[in-house]
Amino acid sequence: MPRMSPSSPPPSPSPSPSPARQPSPSPSSRPYHHGDLRAALLKSAERTLREKGAGALSLRELARDIGVSHAAPGRHFKDKRALLDALALDGYERLNQALARAAEQPGLTFEGRLTALARAYLGFAVENPELLELMFARKHHPDSSAQLVSAVDESLGSITRLIADAQERGEIVQGDPERITTIAAASLHGLAALIASCALEPDEALAGLDEHVHLLLHGLKPR
C-alpha cells in the first residue's frame, strides 16, 4: 500500500450512490379501487353540481377529484348520462325517505299529514335546489331508466295514497286522487321554484306553509 506524505491531502471519500428517484404516479397508475367508489363518485358529482352546475360534470374530473384512475368510474357509469340518472335517482330515493318519515307521524289530521309531507318536500327543495332541478329534468328524459321512473312514481305515490285515504274517510271531496295529487304537487313545486329564483325567502315559505296548505285544502271562498 503506498505511503502518503504528511503534506498530501486525504483522499476524498467516494460519493455514495443516490437512491433511484421514484417516478410520480400518473393518473392512469392511481389505485383503481376506492372502497365504495360509486358513493364517492356521486358525492363528488353532487358537490360539483351544486358549485358549478351540470355542465361541469365530467367522469374524468370526478376520478381526478377522488384520486382514482380515469378509467375507474366506468365500473359504475358508462357515460355522463348514466351519471346524471344515478344522481337523480339518489335524489329521489332521499326525497322518498323524507316523505315516508313525514307520512308515518301518528295522531295527525289529514291537514296535518299533508302539511308534514309539504314541509318534507319543501325542506328538501330548499337544501338541494340544483339537485331537484336535475331530478325534474331527468324524469322527463326519454331515456330515463325504469328504476328512476319507479322512484318518481313513488314520490308522487306518497301524496296520492294520502289523498285516497282521506277520500275513504270522507275528509275531502271525491275525485281522481292522481288529479288532486297533481294539483297539490304543482302548488308545492311552485313554492320551491319561487325560492330557487330568489322571489321568495326560504324561511318565509316554511313559516307560511301551514296557511298555504290550509288555503290549498279549503280554497278562497268565504265560509
CB 156 within 8 A of CB 201: no
58 lies in the same domain as 139: no
Helix (H) or strand (E) holding 191, with range, is: helix 177-196
**Residue 7 confidence (pLDDT) above 70:** no
User: Of the spans 13-17, 25-29, 107-111, which averages the highest pLDDT?
Assistant: 107-111
Average pLDDT for residues 91-101, to the nearest whole number?
95
142 lies in the same domain as 61: no
Average pLDDT for residues 143-158, to the nearest whole number?
88
Rounded Cα distance, 185 and 64, in Å: 39
| Of 149, 122, 143, the residue nearest 204 (C-alpha) | 122
Helix (H) or strand (E) holding 116, with range, is: helix 110-127
pLDDT tens-digit readout, 152-182: 999 989 999 999 999 999 999 999 999 999 9
Which conformational region is residue 219 in: left (phi greater than 0), alpha (psi within -120 to 50 degrees), or beta?
Answer: left
Alpha carbon distances (Å) from 112 to 42, 106, 118, 185: 35, 10, 10, 16
What's residue 103's pLDDT? 87
| Of 131, 115, 140, the residue nearest 212 (C-alpha) | 115
Task: Quote the domain boundaries for residue 60.
Answer: 34-78
| Of 85, 91, 84, the residue nearest 147 (C-alpha) | 85
Of residues 97 and 104, more confidence is placed in: 97
**Residue 34 confidence (pLDDT) above 70:** no
Rounded Cα distance, 37 and 141, in Å: 26
Work out the percent of the chain whose per-residue pLDDT is above 90: 61
68 lies in the same domain as 94: no
Mean pLDDT (the chain) is 85
Rounded Cα distance, 48 and 17, in Å: 47
122 lies in the same domain as 167: yes
What's residue 159's pLDDT? 92
Residue 22 lies in a domain: no
Q: What are phi and psi of 53, to 5 degrees?
A: 95, 165
Confidence of residue 53 (pLDDT cuts 50, 70, 90): very high
DSSP state for residue 27 in the 8-state scheme? G
84 lies in the same domain as 182: yes
48 lies in the same domain as 130: no
What's residue 131's pLDDT? 95
Rounded Cα distance, 187 and 213, in Å: 9
pLDDT tens-digit readout, 198-218: 999 999 999 999 999 999 999
| Of 50, 73, 51, the residue nearest 61 (C-alpha) | 73
C-alpha grid cell, residue 114: 299533508
Q: Which of 78, 107, 142 is the last residue of a domain?
A: 78
Of residues 14 and 73, more confidence is placed in: 73
Confidence of residue 141 (pLDDT cuts 50, 70, 90): confident
64 lies in the same domain as 174: no
What's residue 35's pLDDT? 61
Other Cβ atoms less than 10 A from the Cβ of 23: the count is 7
Q: Which amino acid is at 65?
A: D
Average pLDDT for residues 1-9, to the nearest whole number?
45
CATH code, domain carrying 46:
1.10.10
pTM: 0.78
CATH code, domain carrying 178:
1.10.357.10
Residue 24 lies in a domain: no
Q: What's the domain count of the chain?
A: 2
